[in-house]
Amino acid sequence: MNMPTEEKQKRRVLIADDDPVSRCMLASFLAKWGYEVIAVGDGLEALRILQGPDAPRLAVLDWVMPGLEGPQVCQRMRAHPDLPYVYVLLLTARNEKTDLLRGLEFGVDDYLTKPFDSRELRGRLQVGQRILNLQESLVEAQEELRFRATHDLLTGISNRGAVLEALNREYSRQKREGGSFGIILLDLDHFKYVNDTRGHLCGDAVLREASHRIAEGIRPYDTAGRYGGEEFLIVAPASDESGTMALAERIRISIESLPVEAEGGPATITASSGLAVSRGDSPLEPQILIHLADDALYRAKDKGRNRCEIASQPDVILTPPR
């Protein structure tokens, strides 16, 4: 059996130096150390590459170059914080402290004075690589924390706070721009019975699969989240009564279409939904909208479950429940 092998990640370095002899020498050193080298002779070309797609994450820039000097290249690159971070090592014959401080102020990470020792150059590039690896680890950790703060860990869809935030954003947008939007409050039918008779592992499988089918059924600009327990809230922008009902029916049919594969055998599930729409001519606050959808959900349950009911537009503004 062949063991899978991981492709070694190439380390890419940009060299920018207008002296062809120096450029060739640098490229030779870096290639010998296992780096993939891109070499250019002026600052403008260096900036173009560093701001382009798939830019190298390490750069060795000469201070004095045609077009743009090394510190200027770095300064312009740092003016775009949305770009991936590039670790910049500046090569310079200058050794005055004021010059070196100016380079650091322009965003240079480190510098090496000419003539340089090849071992020192290699060591400083290794430091740059470690810093880039550390930065990537921090970004991944930050993304993980952000995901955990906004998503339900069991189902992977948005959590209650995130979907309510989406509802508030849509209401604010409606007040500015008009138009209609709808919400769907969906509840899995007889979920307590599933937990009581099949156990919580089966219940978790049902919740995950229902969430997956809901996520598959919504439009790219809709937001679906776990509202609590076996209840889900879907925010549907740019949707009137008929559009919201069509969306709710599509999700309902998807949920009942196939049994959920779970421990102990397949589990059949259905869902009931209550819908409410905030129209542009009479917008409804989020709490009122949820209250109306909740009332419609109770009607769906009373009428036999596995159905969708839509709330009537109230004649007066209701007071949200405390």
Give the CA dihedral 228, 232, 237, 242, nearest 10 degrees: -140
Q: Which residues contact 34 (CB under 8 A, 6 or more apart)?
A: 11
What pLDDT, on a 0 to 100 scale, did the predictor assign at position 117? 86
Statement: residue 42 has pLDDT above 50: yes
For the cut 80, the answer to whether the pLDDT of residue 6 exceeds it is: no
pLDDT at 290: 97
Q: What would the pLDDT profile of 276-312 be if each residue is shown by its tens digit?
A: 999 988 899 999 999 999 999 999 999 999 999 999 8
133: burial class by Cβ within 10 Å (0-12, 13-18, 19+)? exposed
Name the more confident of 313 and 194. Answer: 194
Checking if the pLDDT of 314 tops 70, the result is no
Q: Do 160-310 and 11-148 have the same topology in CATH?
A: no
- In this structure, are residues 63 and 75 in contact, taking their beta carbons and an 8 Å threshold? no
Q: In this structure, what token pair is assigned to residue 265?
A: 């055998």
C-beta separation of 301 from 274 below 8 A: no
Q: Is the pLDDT of residue 255 over 90?
A: yes
- pLDDT tens column, 69-111: 999 999 999 999 888 899 999 988 877 677 778 778 888 999 8
**Domain residue ranges in the chain:** 11-148, 160-310
160-310 is a CATH 3.30.390.30 domain: no
Map residue 64 onto helix, strand or coil.
Answer: coil
Would you place residue 1 in the very low, low, confident or very high pLDDT band (cuts 50, 70, 90)?
Answer: very low
pLDDT tens by residue, 185-233: 999 999 999 999 999 999 999 999 999 999 999 999 999 999 999 999 9
Active site residue 230: yes
Helices and strands per DSSP (H, E), number in the chain: 10, 10
* CATH class of the 11-148 domain in this structure: alpha beta
User: Looking at 45, 170, 230, 309, which residue is catalytic?
Assistant: 230
- Cα(261)–Cα(268) distance, integer angstroms: 9
What is the Cα–Cα distance from 60 to 125, expressed in whole angstroms? 9
Summarize pLDDT for 114-147 with one digit per residue, the tens: 888 889 999 999 999 999 989 889 888 988 998 9
Whether 212 contacts 224, CB under 8 Å: no
287: closest CA among 315, 318, 261, 262?
318
